[in-house]
Amino acid sequence: MKIIVCAKQVPDTTEIKINPQTGTLIRDGVPSIMNPDDKGGLELALRLKEQFDAHVTIITMGPPQADAILREALALGVDRAILLTDRKFAGADTLATSNALAGALRNLEFDLIIAGRQAIDGDTAQVGPQIAELLDIPQVTYLEDLKYDGDKTLTIRRQTEEGYQVLETEIPCMVTVLASAYQARYMPVKGIVQAYDREVETWSFENISVDESKLGLKGSPTRVHKAFTKGVKGAGEQFEVDADEAVGIIISRLKQKFLI
Amino acid sequence: MDNSAYKEIYVFAEQRGGKIQGIALELLGKARDLATVTAQQVVAILAGYQVTDQANELIAFGADKVIVVDDAVLADYLTEPYTQALAGVIKQYKPSVILIGATTIGRDLGPRLSARVTTGLTADCTRLEIGEEGELLMTRPAFGGNLMATIVSKEHRPQMTTVRPGVMQKADRDDSRKGEVEILKVDFDTSKFRVKLIEQVKADKGLLDIADAKILVSGGRGVNSAENFEKLKQLAHVLGAEVSASRAMVDAGVISHERQVGQTGKTVRPDLYIACGISGAIQHLAGMEESGYIIAVNKDKYAPIFQVADLGIVGDVNKIIPLLADRLQKEISA
């Protein structure tokens, strides 16, 4: 079985703060990490590798420094790592990103493509399904569990609002995984050391067979019209009093507002 | 691309088991506002099996027209049949705008469909407006709610977006509204149906969806223990409210993920939101700041939750909340 994991390097958004004076994002010093859902997907791939001797390739599209998450994946045990990077990909929205990644995936062999459900910097959950469409393979999103019969059939549990669905499909297939489904393993020290001696392949526009008009900003149907930080709603009244008085104030406001 | 051929505002009317979902009505409410600005029609797309008789429901909530794709292959949601149905509607009718709910169905269908018809898709909008040239301005949070971005689709049509449940407001039901119902026959390519539904399992929730609650009593890290959380439940009981939580309580296993408010949980806008021991990380605020009246109780007077609270109480949540529950109980029974 040949598996490809699609992963993204993201800023740890829980660490981002807004400068209250300028209203802009403070990105300095915010650590970059492997997107959590993608890390869950990588863990699934590694378990299939252990169980079925699967060959695992990881691919990421991004700037040269995205290499860091590929080293992390190598340390965890993937067989091959590819960094897809080119100025021609810059400014891509989800569809243009999917066009580039699908172009690279067409030049690789795969039975199963695994991506995270969504990335924490954009939360779009679009690139997985769009790649699946461009490659004309079925997709299953919101994956909670996957069973492989060792031949062709995958039985997948998919999270829904009400509970879950059990779905069956055959390889080749694309799945998008929830971080909570697979607790990622820790990097072994030996793996970390070896990861820096191993090769990360760098692929550019030349390595994919996609028309330039479908890539980067030019290939993006959507544009950012404007970006802004949310104005903070004015704080209301605040009291620092003992519990008894506080309860009195709360009840009086609830009555004023006809909430009780 | 000649965009003038693309007209009217379409809503994907999500149904499950033949039941129209609340998100469909919320989207119809918003579509009505947008259609009024641009003098266009609101068209609902109803895909399913034996659902045609539900079309009137959509008209009562704001649709001028309902396009029904009724076929046995659409009995349960599966990506490929629904993508074919929607792609069929787009090909036939050329919508200017399609609004889709950001549910586990809409977020599976939307991107697949966008790649099939080669158009953009803006994810999980919280605000929709019409721009100066009649284009749709789609505003959404990014970077975990730290930044808002307004997205447009200049060249490509339809302009597609998913919208989170609980963000838009449905119109009042009006059974006297009139509208057309049109049946569209789609020729499905069943050779592409490669995913089979084996089983659909409902987890027993037994409680109201927090997105529908009028009053929420919500607990965070300051509540500190499952035992203290029980006190919040007592207050909720007195107020006829539901309980919800910030991520800290979910991670601690005190409450299930369905009850999490925030960027990675649910967006809520109850009439009253009582934030108990919640510091107010931006991810949490993103999910509740539209609530009608916000009361926050927290021991740290600089906690960000106070920035959005209408009434802020600096104090020990585990003393104040039980006392409040007792006192309210007496007031109500008096």
Q: B331–A260: do the CB atoms touch at under 8 Å?
A: yes
What's the burial of B39, exposed, middle or buried (CB within 10 Å: 0-12/13-18/19+)? exposed
CA dist A105 and A101 (Å) reads: 6
Q: Are residues B167 and B21 in the same domain?
A: yes
pLDDT at B252: 85
* ipTM of the complex as predicted: 0.89
Q: Are residues B67 and B144 in the same domain?
A: yes
pTM above 0.95, yes or no: no
Q: What is the pLDDT of residues A107-142, one digit of tens each?
A: 999 999 999 999 988 889 999 999 999 999 999 999
Q: Are residues B7 and B131 in the same domain?
A: yes
Q: Are residues B39 and B146 in the same domain?
A: yes
* Alpha-carbon distances, residue B229 vs B21, B173, B217, B294, B311 (angstroms): 31, 37, 10, 19, 21
pLDDT at A192: 86
Q: Are residues B19 and B70 in the same domain?
A: yes
In a domain, B205, yes or no: no
In a domain, B197, yes or no: no
Q: Are residues B128 and B16 in the same domain?
A: yes
Q: What is the pLDDT of residues B222-281, one digit of tens each?
A: 998 999 999 999 999 989 899 999 998 988 888 888 899 998 888 898 889 999 999 998
Residue of A170, A238, A247 with shortest CB distance to B194: A170
Q: Are residues B238 and B101 in the same domain?
A: no
Residues of chain B with pLDDT under 70: 1, 204-208, 334
Domain finish residue from B160, B192, B224: B192
Q: What is the pLDDT of residues A136-190, one digit of tens each?
A: 999 999 999 999 999 999 999 999 988 899 999 999 999 999 988 998 999 888 8
Q: Are residues B218 and B286 in the same domain?
A: yes
Q: B120–A122: do the CB atoms touch at under 8 Å?
A: no
Q: What percent of chain A has pLDDT over 70?
A: 93
Average pLDDT of chain A is 92
Q: Are residues B144 and B292 in the same domain?
A: no
In a domain, B204, yes or no: no
CA dist A169 and A156 (Å) reads: 8
Q: A120–B124: do the CB atoms touch at under 8 Å?
A: no
Q: Which H or E run includes A172?
A: none
In a domain, B217, yes or no: yes
Strand partners, A119: none
A69-73, A196-200, B317-321: which range is least confident on average? A196-200
Domain finish residue from B192, B223, B244: B192
In a domain, B267, yes or no: yes
In a domain, B260, yes or no: yes
Residue A140 and residue A169 in contact, taking contact as beta carbons nearer than 8 Å: yes
Domain finish residue from B192, B223, B246: B192
Residue of A163, A240, A251 with shortest CB distance to B314: A240
List phi, psi (to 5°) of A137.
Answer: -125, 155
In a domain, B283, yes or no: yes
Q: Are residues B169 and B216 in the same domain?
A: no
The minimum CA-CA distance between A198 and chain B, rounded to whole Å, is 32
CA dist A96 and B120 (Å) reads: 9
Provide the pairing of β-strand B65-70 with A223-228: unpaired
* Alpha-carbon distances, residue A185 vs A39, A40, A67, B18, B315 (angstroms): 9, 9, 20, 42, 41
Q: Are residues B188 and B238 in the same domain?
A: no
Q: A236–B283: do the CB atoms touch at under 8 Å?
A: no
Provide the domain limits for residue B329. 210-333
Supply the CATH number for residue B101's domain: 3.40.50.620
Q: What is the pLDDT of residues B304-328, one digit of tens each?
A: 999 899 999 999 999 999 999 999 9
Q: Are residues B172 and B228 in the same domain?
A: no
* Alpha-carbon distances, residue A246 vs A168, A241, B298, B315 (angstroms): 56, 6, 12, 8
Instruction: Give how many domains chain B has, as a whole number.
Output: 2
Rg (CA), chain B: 22
